[in-house]
A and B are shown apart, each in its own frame.
Chain A
Amino acid sequence: MISPPQALIAEVTHRCPMHCVYCSNPLIMQSRENEMPTGAWEKIISDAAALGCWHLHLTGGEPLSRNDLPALVQAGRAAGLYVNLITSGLGLSRERLEQMVEAGLDHVQLSFQDSIEESANLFGGTRAHAQKLKVAAMIREHRVAFTINIVVHRGNLDRLESMIALAEELKADKLEIANVQYYGWAVRNRANLLPTRAQLDKSLPIVAQARERLAGRIRIDFVLPDYYAKYPKPCMGGWGRGVMLVDPAGRVMPCHAASVIPGLTFENAREKPLRWIWEESPSFQRFRGSDWMPEPCRSCDRKEIDFGGCRCQAFLLASNAEATDPTCSKAPLRQRLEQIVTEANSPLADVPPSGAWVYRIDPPVLSS
């Protein structure tokens, strides 16, 4: 018996005014011409609710690059879903926010790239920080839950305290501080992004103290960099276990990055029933459960805790999606990870980032 998904991640567009150096979108993106129309999304949202989802996460790219967000929020609420907008804030006017709140938006997650303007704009590749501050104030005027998300890395982890102060100043309900995960564009910028062990060690007590001080006011989530972990993260809570992601063109995937894995064919929600895709399609079955696992995962007592870690990371680090995730200390190919971490901590690497960033670019426009 396959348990139903709990969340639908609707990646409604890959267009985005930001160019973040750690963007988790795939390097090969869907262009505007391939984006599904409103009606197709509405059907997917309602089918996902019927399948058992509780949450709808509207994301992208920048979801507000589409002009039909209020209709999608409405579709989520009509289907009984909890609706979360994950946004850079760019393109969020008061009028659009009010339309979405009116349609039943439950939660807004607004990204910041840093606590100070100059470097925030550097990491985001856009002059966006000042506008985000205005958007945050506007969100707070509405009865909608408000999370601030800041991706942290070598270039900004030392400003953790001022990031926490920013979340307090902007009256967020929750602050999510997420270390970069190395997928998509972040892999291209890894040498500039991977923090040192000293930076990481310094960050832990800062988070612990802030959690205590802000208890009952602001919840703080802290996502650790798994390159420094002993065991891998239970990526997406396990392949095909709780989350389904639909890309702008309708391809249904178990996670944001799965399109990097060669040999997998992702079904399209416009062509096949969503329930069949979730329960039976080969791509969702591929790494579900533990039958696919190699040793040492297969006989590991943690296999129901981390579900073998991340298949995309295994492919990116070990060139084999079936390999034990190299972030696991028991992985035969852990050495590949150790090497990257050692380089990041060598005295030579301990200089400010070189500035040679690879910026995320928008999907190309196909001319007809």
Chain B
Amino acid sequence: MEPQLTQRPALKRGCRLSTIEPLLLIPEGALRLQGPGRRILELCDGERSLADVIDELQAEYASAEPSKMSGEVVAFLKALAERGAIEFL
């Protein structure tokens, strides 16, 4: 299911970022986060909408092409939703 830009992505209960390594800890193990992965998830606080998350990332990574970045962020979050690590509120 395609997430809407107005929805608010959030880590699911039982999933959190490691305070030590670039890892997303989940009940079954851990996922290693590369590139902006960690930053994306920090923004997924259940308060910001998906549109807000993309806007903030675009401001922070000014050199990235906007439409490409937006597609990559959505794909990344969808993949994590399929793993049960993210929900869209």
Contacts and interface: CB of A to CB of B under 8 A. Distances in A.
Contacts, number: 43
Contacts of B30: 6, 54-55, 82
Nearest to A54: B30
Interface residues of A, number: 17
B16 interface: yes
B29 A173 contact: no
Interface in B1-47: 12-16, 18-21, 23, 25, 27, 29-30
A54 B29 CA distance: 7
A145 B27 contact: yes
Contact of B25 (A106, A144, A216, A219): A106
Q: Which of B20, B27, B29 has the most CB of A within 10 A?
A: B27
B-side binding surface: helix, strand, loop or mixed?
Answer: loop
Given A54-B18, A54-B30, A219-B84, A82 B25 contact: yes
Contact of B21 (A80, A84, A146): A80
A54 B25 contact: yes
Interface residues of B, number: 16
A80 B18 contact: yes
Contacts of A147: 27
B19 A173 contact: no
A106 B29 contact: no
A127 interface: no
A261 to B, nearest CB: 27
16 contacts: A6-B29, A6-B30, A54-B25, A55-B29, A80-B18, A80-B20, A82-B27, A82-B30, A84-B27, A143-B13, A144-B14, A145-B14, A147-B27, A173-B12, A173-B27, A216-B87
Interface of B: 12-16, 18-21, 23, 25, 27, 29-30, 84, 87
